[in-house]
A and B are shown apart, each in its own frame.
Chain A
Amino acid sequence: MSSVFFMLTMGLYFVSTVCYLAYLLRRAETLSKVSLGITAVGFATHTVALVARMADSSQAQLPTFHEALSFFSWMLILVFLAVEFRRQLHVLGSFIVPLALVSLVTAAAFRSDETSSLQPVFKTLWVHVTLSMLGTVGFAVAFVAGVMYLIQDGLLKSKRFNVLYAKLPALDYLDHLNQQSIVMGFPLLTLGIISGAFSAEIVRGSYVNWNPEQTWAMVTWGFYFAVLVGRLTIGWRAKRAAYLTIIGFAGVILTLIGVVLKSHGSVS
């Protein structure tokens, strides 16, 4: 059942992505309502798919990339729906939904139905993956806000008052969204790394062994720490913050790719 709903979700997110991208270029506001409706239905089927998957594998399975990415995609849509509900910021969908789709398609590539029985140690691994992914969602939203900021900044600077200009919100709101996302994402990532260190201690007997992906994770953490402190103390905001969060998210993606390449299919 899980796979049927998963495929259905992918289809719905795909249609919704197409609609949201069309919405960017069109004046018609109805398109955003259609897209939102499709996204909401997709979110519902996605929830069913996730719950069914959990029920299938119960606690006995390792968190796989498939699950991590699918969960990431689900959280992104959840955040989008929450912001949309509060602020009616339709255009956010044109940026977040495609990102969620990419993540879900990647998840599909890693899908495997094998289940293996494992020791309870992996409970900590579940915590590690969940927290890290929640942190990553924060950085993803910051990334999206950063991209939107740079676009709006560019349009204002070049005096191109087009459809996109009309749809994007005020610069300071995007900057605020950027800050909020990092303020939420950073502590979650920190906890994710700490729980990761604990599970590494259980599995391998050492908290940190400085393998490449751990090193990358620490670099990413340090980077976001700097971004956050810089913003709060010496005014790294606005355009600079937008650039920094885009670079930071690229770092996060690289870390994930590194982990994937190293251990194809499961985190061990």
Chain B
Amino acid sequence: MHVIVVGLSHKTAPVEIREKLAVPESRLREALSRLCTYPGVREGLLLSTCNRVEVYAVVEDLESGYGRVQEFLADTHLSLSSEHLTPHLYWHAGDRAISHLFRVASSLDSMIVGESQILGQIKDAFEVALTHKASGLLLNKIVKKAISVAKRVRTETKIAETAVSVSYAAVELAKKIFSNLTEKTVLLIGAGEMAKLAARHLIANGVRQVRITTRNFQHGLELAQKFNGTAVPFEDYKTELAGADIVLVSTGASHYLITADDVQRAMRQRMSRPMFLIDISVPRNIDPAVRPIDDAFLFDIDDLHMRVEQNREDRLREAAKAEQMVVEEVAVLGQWLQSLEVTPTIVALRGRTEEIKRREVEKVLARLAHLSSEDRAAVEALASAIVNKMVHGTMVTLKAEATSSSGAAYVDAARRFFSLEDAPAAYPPAQTDVQDVPEENGAGNGANRFSGEALVQHSTKEQGRRVS
């Protein structure tokens, strides 16, 4: 059984390709059930966002599994031929596929590292896969783990704590001046896009009082309606200053609308209550001479940009910590997957020895018909004791080594020593026709499915295929 991912993201494909490949929500269900009908595909999950389209699957054979999933992608999007698609795809299997999912969920692979949307999108995709029974034991475990890893990253690192847009940086600064935004009044002068966005962020963070003034009063009224605020005639903006805790300016004016005198007058009326002025206009609309005025804090577009730049660096530093967490968690999950391989071997071993014992005891007892029932019981007990003692060490070793790095080798050895090749292979029991997919080879049967070999095999292939 192999866990694989095939997909493309903002890192490998331009938006023209991504938008073509994106699966609309209405078709998700149909696409998923089709994915599971491909031979050799046991479990599937489809993640489709504006920045990535990925198929996570559990397949029986690595090579053909990749092929099937790729076929599925091409079939789902008739407008894209395989040749168009292939150069943008990436392939991962085993630990690398799991690590990829963990990184995606933790927003380490996002366009804006640390954004929180992706986790919700993964939860939704998982929900769909669950309701359509497309995901089974393996994917369930892996996706749930990915969600918990993402949560751990969010709580233990500061990856998502800082603002990464100019408009949000304004909110972050406001929170360093006012601890509680709900009682504060925002005055929006002009209706530049960024200022509107900043106003929206401020409202989302609790601001209730919004006063809006634009040169075109009608436009102001419309905006006021949108923000649930009050429109003020443009001529009055200077008198409005004193009542505003946060002033957002973004007009097309080529001169200073607010001078140091205006602010000084407002500050006197405000009796030194702090005032936060944000000038997002270029050319600037607030005289920089306002800066030295006590309790008035002026920030222009460059200041905000600088803040965002710093935050980006902070996020990258935090991302390094998060990467380490992903590595740890992948190792933990890898152990669980390995232990899955050991269990069927132990079961097979027990069955095999039981079988030998039963046959031999029957043979002997048939010849010794004169034995009393007590003696027969003694013979059986003797056989059981010998068999159990013989395999005891093997069982213990298998269990103990289940999660070690050489676990696969022990499983392999046990299967050979006790001729378990023809015993039922590995978990999970096949849902589809087993005859369709012949097992790779007898000897390594199921033993090294999630282990090193598969990875090496795969990563060389990936180098050949991956477009970075």
Is there a chain A Cβ closer than 8 Å to B306's Cβ? yes
Is there a chain B Cβ closer than 8 Å to A236's Cβ? yes
Q: Do A239 and B178 contact each other (CB < 8 Å), given the known contacts A159-B303, A161-B307, A172-B274?
A: no
B284-310: CB near A (< 8 Å → 1, else 0) gives 000000011011010100010011001
Q: Do A152 and B176 contact each other (CB < 8 Å), given the known contacts A157-B297, A159-B306?
A: yes
Q: Which residue of B lies closest to A168 (CB)?
A: B176
A235 and B272 CA atoms in complex are apart in Å by 6
Is there a chain A Cβ closer than 8 Å to B238's Cβ? no
Is there a chain A Cβ closer than 8 Å to B366's Cβ? no
Is there a chain A Cβ closer than 8 Å to B273's Cβ? yes
Q: Are A237's CB and B176's CB within 8 A?
A: no
Q: Are A170's CB and B291's CB within 8 A?
A: no
Residues of B within 8 A of A159 (CB): 299, 303, 306
A236 and B272 CA atoms in complex are apart in Å by 7
Residues of B within 8 A of A169 (CB): 179
Q: Do A171 and B176 contact each other (CB < 8 Å), given the known contacts A159-B303, A161-B310, A239-B294?
A: yes
Residues of A within 8 A of B307 (CB): 161
Q: Are B295's CB and A172's CB within 8 A?
A: no
Q: Do A238 and B175 contact each other (CB < 8 Å), given the known contacts A156-B297, A159-B303, A161-B310?
A: no
Q: Do A239 and B179 contact each other (CB < 8 Å), given the known contacts A159-B306, A161-B310?
A: no
Pick the residue among A165, A170, A234, A236 that contacts B179 (CB under 8 A): A170
Q: Which residue of B lies closest to A159 (CB)?
A: B303
A45 and B132 CA atoms in complex are apart in Å by 62
Interface size class of B (residues with CB under 8 A): 20 to 34
Q: Are A156's CB and B177's CB within 8 A?
A: yes
Q: Are A172's CB and B179's CB within 8 A?
A: yes
Q: Are B271's CB and A173's CB within 8 A?
A: no
Residues of B within 8 A of A156 (CB): 173, 176-177, 297
A179 and B321 CA atoms in complex are apart in Å by 41
Q: Are A240's CB and B272's CB within 8 A?
A: yes
Pick the residue among A161, A165, A238 that contacts B274 (CB under 8 A): A238
Q: Are B271's CB and A234's CB within 8 A?
A: yes
Q: Are A239's CB and B295's CB within 8 A?
A: yes
Pick the residue among A165, A172, A238 that contacts B294 (CB under 8 A): A238
Residues of B within 8 A of A165 (CB): 176
A98 and B271 CA atoms in complex are apart in Å by 34
Residues of B within 8 A of A173 (CB): 179
Q: Are B297's CB and A238's CB within 8 A?
A: no
Determine the main DSSP class of B at the interface with A. Answer: loop
B173-191: CB near A (< 8 Å → 1, else 0) gives 1011111100000000000
Q: Which residue of B lies closest to A29 (CB)?
A: B158
Residues of B within 8 A of A235 (CB): 270-273
Measured CB to CB, the closest approach of chain B to A25, in angstroms, equals 16
Residues of A within 8 A of B310 (CB): 161
Q: Are A171's CB and B294's CB within 8 A?
A: no
Residues of A within 8 A of B294 (CB): 238-240
A47 and B176 CA atoms in complex are apart in Å by 36
Measured CB to CB, the closest approach of chain A to B323, in angstroms, equals 17
Residues of B within 8 A of A172 (CB): 177-180, 274
A237 and B307 CA atoms in complex are apart in Å by 28
Q: Which residues 145-169 of A have a CB within 8 angstroms of B? A: 152, 156-157, 159, 161, 165, 168-169
Residues of B within 8 A of A240 (CB): 272, 294
A172 and B270 CA atoms in complex are apart in Å by 14
A9 and B159 CA atoms in complex are apart in Å by 38
Residues of A within 8 A of B273 (CB): 235, 237-238
Measured CB to CB, the closest approach of chain A to B318, in angstroms, equals 9
A168 and B306 CA atoms in complex are apart in Å by 20
Q: Which residue of B lies closest to A165 (CB)?
A: B176
A205-239: CB near B (< 8 Å → 1, else 0) gives 00000000000000000000000000000111111
A168 and B271 CA atoms in complex are apart in Å by 24
Measured CB to CB, the closest approach of chain A to B49, in angstroms, equals 31
Pick the residue among B178, B272, B291 that contacts A238 (CB under 8 A): B272
Measured CB to CB, the closest approach of chain B to A215, in angstroms, equals 31
Q: Are B177's CB and A239's CB within 8 A?
A: no
Q: Which of A157, A159, A234 has the most CB of B within 10 A?
A: A159
Residues of A within 8 A of B295 (CB): 238-239
A234-268: CB near B (< 8 Å → 1, else 0) gives 11111110000000000000000000000000000
Q: Are A237's CB and B271's CB within 8 A?
A: yes
Residues of A within 8 A of B180 (CB): 172
Residues of A within 8 A of B292 (CB): 157
Residues of A within 8 A of B297 (CB): 156-157
Q: Do A239 and B272 contact each other (CB < 8 Å), given the known contacts A170-B175, A171-B177, A172-B177?
A: yes
Measured CB to CB, the closest approach of chain A to B435, in angstroms, equals 58
Residues of A within 8 A of B175 (CB): 170
Q: Which residues 11-60 of B have a CB within 8 angstroms of A? A: none
Q: Which residue of B lies closest to A156 (CB)?
A: B297
Residues of A within 8 A of B272 (CB): 235-240
Q: Which residue of A lies closest to B173 (CB)?
A: A156
A91 and B118 CA atoms in complex are apart in Å by 33
A234 and B294 CA atoms in complex are apart in Å by 16
Q: Which residues 151-177 of B have a CB within 8 angstroms of A? A: 173, 175-177
Residues of A within 8 A of B299 (CB): 159
Pick the residue among B270, B291, B306 that contacts A157 (CB under 8 A): B291
Q: Which residues 99-157 of A have a CB within 8 angstroms of B? A: 152, 156-157
22 A-B residue pairs with CB within 8 Å: A152-B176, A157-B292, A159-B306, A161-B306, A161-B307, A161-B310, A165-B176, A168-B176, A169-B179, A170-B179, A172-B179, A172-B274, A235-B270, A235-B272, A235-B273, A237-B273, A238-B273, A238-B274, A238-B295, A239-B272, A239-B295, A240-B272
Extra contacts, 12 of them, besides A159-B306, A172-B179 (Cβ < 8 A), are A156-B173, A156-B176, A157-B291, A157-B292, A159-B303, A169-B179, A170-B177, A170-B178, A171-B177, A173-B179, A176-B179, A238-B274
B interface residues (Cβ-Cβ under 8 A, vs A): 173, 175-180, 270-274, 291-292, 294-295, 297, 299, 303, 306-307, 310
The 7 nearest A-B residue pairs measured at CB: A235-B271, A170-B179, A173-B179, A238-B295, A238-B272, A235-B272, A171-B177
